Amino acid sequence: MAWGTHTVLDQTLRVVSKRRLKGHLLHPLTDVDTIEDLKEWNPRLARKRPYLSVIIPALNEEGSIGKTIAGAKDPEAEIIVVDGGSSDSTKVVAKEAGAQVMTTKKGRAFQQNAGAAAAAGKVLLFLHADTLLPTRYMEHVFEKLLPKRAVAGAFRFKTDCRVPLIGAVEWMTNVRSRIFQLPYGDQALFLKKSLFDSLGGFPNVPIAEDLLLVRALRKHGRVRIAQGYAITSGRRWQQLGVIRTTLINWIIMAGCHLGVSPRSLSSLYILPKKGANR
């Protein structure tokens, strides 16, 4: 019997006739000989698993979320917006832009963990709602995770505002990221989902969840910085001032290194007013 060919039925009927048996043809069904046959039998298998899941935590970001999603679109990526209970049209804008939208309680760490749990990608990229990825960002992600010792990556830091001293902040941030392997969340951290899950995700803290995760990642290998820039909104630097904002960031980072509770440090962090920029 020539299994897997179009002659199987004819051969079977001849054998039945030769042995003087009675045969009856049933309603035709799809044979499963190839991967394509299997996909026809189970349509869920036909949906290709994305290489990357872009996870965007958001809260009242209707003015930024559309551009952020547009800049993250790629054939190899799914985009998941995790809304923390926005009172504006963030969810509507995100859906219209083509993202999957889910709602959770407020809290960046909690929102990102919820998005990661729902993600289908092999690699996770965590993107702030007011941050734009570089063009062809997918190539950077793939390249930086390729070496065996690489466990995570992020992009170079840049803001969309040109106020005095902001250039110095960008330079210091990029030096810190490259030399000490300490990128922040607004640099679009990316890593394999399997590793993220094994570490338990982001610590469920109100602030500095990105710093704490990166510190844990460094124990497993290298955190690499891509050449492209993640361009984040400069509204916080514009509203609070470059020096004040930088000092607050430094105090929070130093406090984390000294073991101060992130919950205690969260009172220092001042959120910018929405709509001030982008």
Domain assignment present for residue 65? The answer is yes
For residues 116-125, give the mean pLDDT.
98
Domain that holds residue 162: 52-268
Domain assignment present for residue 27? The answer is no
Q: 203 with 209: CB under 8 angstroms?
A: yes
**Domain count along the chain:** 1
Helix (H) or strand (E) holding 174: helix 166-180
Domain assignment present for residue 30? The answer is no
Residues 200-244: tens digit of each pLDDT:
999 999 888 999 999 999 999 999 999 999 999 988 778 888 888
Domain assignment present for residue 168? The answer is yes
Give the pLDDT band (50/70/90) at residue 277.
very low
Domain assignment present for residue 35? The answer is no
**Which domain CATH number covers 166?**
3.90.550.10
154 DSSP β-pair partners: 225
Domain assignment present for residue 3? The answer is no
CA gap 90, 58 in Å, rounded: 8
Please give the DSSP secondary-structure letter assigned to residue 202: S
Q: Give the chain's length.
A: 278
Q: What is the Cα gyration radius of the chain?
A: 25
For residue 90, the model assigns a pLDDT of 98
Domain assignment present for residue 245? The answer is yes
Domain assignment present for residue 32? The answer is no
